[in-house]
Amino acid sequence: MAQCLICQTKYFQDMSIINKNIDQYLKNIAQEKIIGCLLYGPNILLNNFRFDIIAKSIVANLQNQFLVTCLENNQIKEDKGIICDEFLSIPMFAGRKLIIIRNPEKDTIEALKIITEIPDYANKSNNFILLVAGDLDKDSALRKFIETSQYLVALPAYEEKEQDIHNFTSLELKKQQIKYDTAVVKAIIANVGKNRQLISEEINKIAIYLNGNSDLDLFTVQKILGESQKSSGENLIQTFITDFANKKYQNCFENIAKLNENNIELIALVRGLATYFTKLYFGKISLQLHKKDLQQIALEEKIFYPQQEQFFTQLQRFSHKFISKMLQKIEDLELDLKKNKLPPNLVLASFVRGFLIKSNSA
């Protein structure tokens, strides 16, 4: 492996990658003369998206146990040489090895120095080390170490601007050789959100639907994405739960009429609310007491990919006390729906109105 020329490449400035150039850099990261990289930042979904790109550019099948190794912090703490051993190891059936380290701690720095401080080590292997962390401030020892190393690179994931998502969506459409206009791009983003993985998946579906027809207009994209079916019962319930959990009580209040018009069983809606806040309840315990990472919690609580971003945000923002109180209020609402002689939609309206008044007076 030749010495890394990070400081000379157009993608970098002062040994740190320029944010707007990350997408372009990722296209060729497998060919870059580095031993690995660090993914960090508050945008978990963007980190996950980039993780997939990098990991699959090194190893096509991430289930291949001969080419993919995940190291835990306790392993690194007990044996500082384990990263070096894995990096210098030769896969049994050839290929390039991927070493994954999630939520790296201070021991990882010492372990990496064994490789990075001795040039011969860095030149002896074509394997790749992929570190995945959360939000790291400028004073983070790990971030400083990675950013000043000639053999490693740090890729930050911050909240994306609307223009960044617009550009990404446009590029994905161009990859599929689809002709489009601005209204089409806006419709896709409005339906899917800022989740790059979902945008890519939806555009793949669109390409399959078009079946070789390169022209895509607004009506067609709305049909494919299910815009015309947004008032279906299942979507109405999910929208209400999402808005309520995001404290968008005005939206909830305005949508009660739609629930009534579509003959939605409000007990089912309330139980859906209870299920979601129960997931938050146990997720909060896992986060605070058991120190589990967010992806592990999402897996355990069976949070579908599209809902993960908001779930992670709420998990970190809501206190355990707040979640417990909400569960009690939801339980009281279910009892009220069963016992109250008023129509269920009025009971639900009164419930939501209480939160709306409180939020407006705050």
Predicted structure pTM score:
0.60
The torsion angles phi and psi of 212, rounded to 5 degrees, stand at: 95, -20
Identify which has the larger pLDDT, 158 or 83: 83
- Quick one: pLDDT band at residue 7, thresholds 50, 70, 90? very low
Write down the pLDDT at residue 16: 54
In order of their start, the domains of the chain are: 6-156 (3.40.50.300), 162-228 (1.10.8.60), 233-361 (1.20.272.10)
Contacts of 192 (CB under 8 A, 6+ apart): 198, 199, 202, 225
Write down the pLDDT at residue 109: 93
Distances from the Cα of 156 to the Cαs of 129, 133, 357, in angstroms? 16, 10, 40
Write down the pLDDT at residue 158: 83
Write down the pLDDT at residue 233: 64
Specify the range with the lowest mean pLDDT, choosing from 139-148, 166-175, 228-237, 273-282. 228-237
The answer, yes or no, to whether residue 48 has pLDDT greater than 70, is yes
Write down the pLDDT at residue 122: 62
Over residues 286-311, the mean pLDDT reads 85
Q: Which residues of 123-138 are buried (b: 16+ CB within 10 A; e: fewer)?
A: eebebbbbbbbbebee
The answer, yes or no, to whether residue 67 has pLDDT greater than 90, is yes
Q: What is the largest CA-CA distance in the chain?
A: 80
Over residues 298-322, the mean pLDDT reads 86
Distances from the Cα of 106 to the Cαs of 76, 78, 312, in angstroms? 10, 13, 25
Write down the pLDDT at residue 15: 42
Write down the pLDDT at residue 124: 74
CA distance 262 to 235: 11
Write down the pLDDT at residue 281: 93
Give first-to-last CA distance, the chain, whole Å.
Answer: 60
- Quick one: pLDDT band at residue 277, thresholds 50, 70, 90? very high
Write down the pLDDT at residue 228: 41
Identify which has the larger pLDDT, 42 or 357: 357
**CB-CB contact of 330 with 312 (8 Å):** no
The torsion angles phi and psi of 99, rounded to 5 degrees, stand at: -110, 115
pLDDT tens-digit readout, 153-204: 999 988 788 888 999 999 999 999 999 999 999 988 887 778 888 888 889 8
Specify the range with the lowest mean pLDDT, choosing from 1-5, 218-222, 335-339. 1-5
**Mean of pLDDT over the chain:** 85
Over residues 124-147, the mean pLDDT reads 90
Write down the pLDDT at residue 141: 93
